[in-house]
Amino acid sequence: MKTTNELIADSNTYIMGTYARLPIALVRGEGARVWDADGKEYLDFLAGIAVCALGHAHPQVSESICAQARTLMHVSNIYHIEPQIRLSALLVENSFADKVFFCNSGAEANEAAIKLARKYAHEHTGEERYRIITMRNSFHGRTLATLTATGQERFQKGFNPLPTGFEYVPFDDLTSLERVAAKDVCAVMVEAIQGEGGVRVPRKGYLEGVRKICDDTGALMILDEVQTGMGRTGNLFAYEHSGVTPDIMTLAKALGNGFPVGAMLATDEVATSFTPGSHASTFGGNPLAMAAGLAVMDTLLHRGVLDNCRKMGAYFREQLESLKGNHAIIREVRGRGLMIGVELSIEGADIVKRCMEAGLLLNCTCGNVLRFVPPLIITRKDVDRAVAILDGVMRDL
Ligand SMILES: Cc1ncc(COP(=O)(O)O)c(C=O)c1O
């Protein structure tokens, strides 16, 4: 095995520079811990950015993938796929949705949602109904349509012309949404909690308000749960904290615990607008991906993971709140379950780097929001260690 420095040199030689990577190369993981190529251990409170919800190398997920790989790795979606049928049934039985479309990432799930909303509107009210409203500071992906849906100019710069028909309003602001919502809007697309936008939890009643505006104008409500879904907030899906359900929901990240899986779920009423030929994916819903998803769903639902997420989320926030008392640079601690943001009065990149050097992985969004999205299986000891490292780093600043 090459050393960290050798791997970094090769990485810079052969891989396109689309990521501002930190100078470590992770080669192994177990639970909430990962090791780099030089053998150094880290406590992983980023978990692939909310992907490895059950921790690294989870035995049931790994075994399920291995068993499926020995049985049948891929067949085309022109045939019925047994593990795909089982996973879609599980998702439907445990959500508002009636039907599922599988793909490979969050962007693809949102792309599918955008296409479905447009198709539904075209069929029910005509082709002039195509506008989609999304939120400022949102994040929905990097394909041309989802990057246009993403309400942040910095991601869109350099890629004109962008697809037409997208408009933005401030997040958590029903008055602005009401002002632009009209009969030619086919969908409102929103995250339950903005992740990349700085771990922003909307006010109580916000999703209910979005639902009502959609109902009043006949627009579909698309809920992007790519980051908040699959247990991250303490419920299987974040919309369960509200009193409403969307028409369409997108999932990815933790659905495969690290194996690429995306899904777009919808009610029967909406899903019927997708017919043979409307949309497709060669790899979407393939047996191997479904084996990962099945093990994730089974573990989330039956092994007390959601309960641990709620308990550890509350404990972690309590500890971070008490850290706030000692460090004036902490402006606010916010989040839900184990999706937690710590807003600073200074830039966060240096803290992220120092924490990494001290053995704790996290990241920073929006320049000054430290983001913690650890595996949902973390213990009090893990939380205590993370808080101690963060405390030490902040003291040394
Ligand atoms: C809310 C949300 N939607 C969509 C995406 C895009 O997912 P992917 O990177 O799998 O395409 C992300 C990724 O961070 C996300 O947080």
Which residues are tagged catalytic? Answer: 139, 224, 253
**What is the pLDDT, as a whole number, of residue 115?**
98
Higher pLDDT, 71 or 182: 71
Give the mean model confidence (pLDDT) for residues 51-71.
98
Give the mean model confidence (pLDDT) for residues 264-284.
98
Q: Which residues contact 388 (CB under 8 A, 6 or more apart)?
A: none
Token pair in block for residue 52:
């490895």
What's the gap in Å between 143 CA and the centre of ligand 1? 11
Give the mean model confidence (pLDDT) for residues 7-24.
97
> Is it true that the peptide bond before 161 is cis, omega within 30 degrees of 0?
yes
Token pair in block for residue 62:
């790994």
Measured by CA distance, the residue closest to atom 3 of ligand 1 is 140
**Mean of pLDDT over the chain:** 97
Pick from 226, 232, 239, 261 the residue to mutate for probing ligand 1's pocket: most ligand atoms within 8 Å of its CB. 226
b/e for 195-228, b at 16 or more Cβ within 10 A?
Answer: bbbbbbbbeeebbebbbebbeebbbbbbbbbbbb
Over 90: is that where the pLDDT of 232 sits? Answer: yes
Measured by CA distance, the residue closest to atom 8 of ligand 1 is 106
Give the mean model confidence (pLDDT) for residues 227-238.
98
Q: Is 141 helix (H, G, I), strand (E, B) or coil?
A: coil
Give the mean model confidence (pLDDT) for residues 297-315.
98
Exposed, middle or buried by CB within 10 Å (0-12, 13-18, 19+), for 50?
buried
Q: Is 34 helix (H, G, I), strand (E, B) or coil?
A: strand
**What is the pLDDT, as a whole number, of residue 1?**
87
Pick from 104, 148, 227, 365 the residue to mutate for probing ligand 1's pocket: most ligand atoms within 8 Å of its CB. 227
| Phi-psi sector, 361: left (phi>0), alpha (psi -120 to 50), beta | beta
**What is the pLDDT, as a whole number, of residue 337?**
98
Pick the atom of ligand 1 nearest to 191's CA.
1
Exposed, middle or buried by CB within 10 Å (0-12, 13-18, 19+), for 100?
buried
Q: Which residues contact 373 (CB under 8 A, 6 or more apart)?
A: 45, 46, 47, 49, 50, 195, 227, 232, 338, 339, 340
Q: Measuring CA to CA, which residue among 323, 321, 300 is closest to residue 375?
A: 300
Pick the atom of ligand 1 nearest to 138's CA.
1
What's the gap in Å between 251 CA and the centre of ligand 1? 9
What's the gap in Å between 227 CA and the centre of ligand 1? 7
**What is the pLDDT, as a whole number, of residue 300?**
97
DSSP string for residues in 173-223:
-HHHHHHH--TTEEEEEEESSBSTTTSBPPPTTHHHHHHHHHHHHTPEEEE
What's the gap in Å between 312 CA and the centre of ligand 1? 24
Domain ranges of the chain: 4-57+304-396, 72-302
Q: Is 346 helix (H, G, I), strand (E, B) or coil?
A: coil
Over 90: is that where the pLDDT of 200 sits? Answer: yes
Q: How far is residue 376's CA from residue 50's CA, in Å, rounded to a whole number?
A: 9
Quickly state the pLDDT bin for 59 (edges 50, 70, 90): very high
Give the mean model confidence (pLDDT) for residues 328-352.
98
Q: Decide if 55 contacts 31 (C-beta within 8 A).
A: yes
pLDDT single digits (tens) 112-142? 999 999 999 999 999 899 999 999 999 999 9
Quickly state the pLDDT bin for 345 (edges 50, 70, 90): very high
Pick from 253, 261, 365, 366 the residue to mutate for probing ligand 1's pocket: most ligand atoms within 8 Å of its CB. 253
What's the gap in Å between 196 CA and the centre of ligand 1? 9
> What residues flank ligand 1, with Cβ below 6 Å?
105-107, 110, 139-141, 191, 195-196, 224, 226-227, 252
**What is the pLDDT, as a whole number, of residue 117?**
98
Q: Is 265 helix (H, G, I), strand (E, B) or coil?
A: strand
Count CB-CB contacts under 10 A for residue 137.
Answer: 20
pLDDT single digits (tens) 95-104? 999 999 999 9
pLDDT single digits (tens) 383-395? 999 999 999 999 9
Q: Into which CATH architecture does domain 72-302 fall?
A: 3-Layer(aba) Sandwich (3.40)
Class of domain 4-57+304-396: alpha beta
Q: Is 5 helix (H, G, I), strand (E, B) or coil?
A: helix
Q: How far is residue 66's CA from residue 291's CA, in Å, rounded to a whole number?
A: 9
Q: Which residues contact 251 (CB under 8 A, 6 or more apart)?
A: 91, 106, 109, 225, 226, 229, 230, 262, 263, 264, 265
What's the gap in Å between 107 CA and the centre of ligand 1? 6
Percentage of residues in the chain having pLDDT higher than 70: 100
Q: Decide if 397 contacts 370 (C-beta within 8 A).
A: no
Q: Measuring CA to CA, which residue among 29, 92, 75 is closest to residue 268?
A: 92
Pick the atom of ligand 1 nearest to 107's CA.
11
Over 90: is that where the pLDDT of 146 sits? Answer: yes
**What is the pLDDT, as a whole number, of residue 8?**
97
Pick the atom of ligand 1 nearest to 143's CA.
11
**What is the pLDDT, as a whole number, of residue 183?**
85
Over 90: is that where the pLDDT of 342 sits? Answer: yes
